[in-house]
Amino acid sequence: MDSEINPILLSSFVGALFLFGKDNLGKIEEIEINGLDVDMIIVYKYNLILIVIMSKDFIKQDYRGEAEKALDMFYSSYVNEINNFKTSINISIFNEFKKILYIQIRDYFEILKDKERDAQRDFGFFTQALKQLRNGQNTN
């Protein structure tokens, strides 16, 4: 969603990585790049590529799984269009998916916030002991 990222340069870069992999390493399923300001993961599935770029500041948990889930949703939503792909296609047919992807991203961050809140409240063994003390139970 960052307007400063040049999509043409990004797609050329990713395409070059996959060509390099195809010619030298075999089929690539994932590429992870950790930069100074951002982390990037590139996931390949169904002959589709999804690029996730996240700020270093964001907590990341299973974002590869989320990327795969997005590819699964995209593929299942547009399997006919993908299978009948022509060299020229009006990509506006995929615009509706942006809304689905936005909801997935929003839900992902809500789950992370909930986990962070739970982690701040959980003190392991002491959490149970504190609950017992609050309830006036003997902890001996």
What integer pLDDT is reported at residue 128 of this predicted model? 59
> Per-residue confidence at 75, pLDDT binned at 50, 70, 90?
very high
CATH architecture of 7-122: 2-Layer Sandwich (3.30)
Report how far residue 64's alpha carbon sits from residue 104's, in angstroms, rounded to the nearest whole number: 13
What integer pLDDT is reported at residue 118 of this predicted model? 67
Domain layout of the chain by residue ranges: 7-122
Report how far residue 126's alpha carbon sits from residue 140's, in angstroms, rounded to the nearest whole number: 14
Please, are residues 51 and 40 in contact by the beta-carbon 8 Å criterion?
Answer: yes
Please, are residues 56 and 82 in contact by the beta-carbon 8 Å criterion?
Answer: no
For the question of whether the overall pTM of this predicted structure is more than 0.75, the answer is: no
Least-confidence region, from 14-28, 57-71, 110-124: 110-124
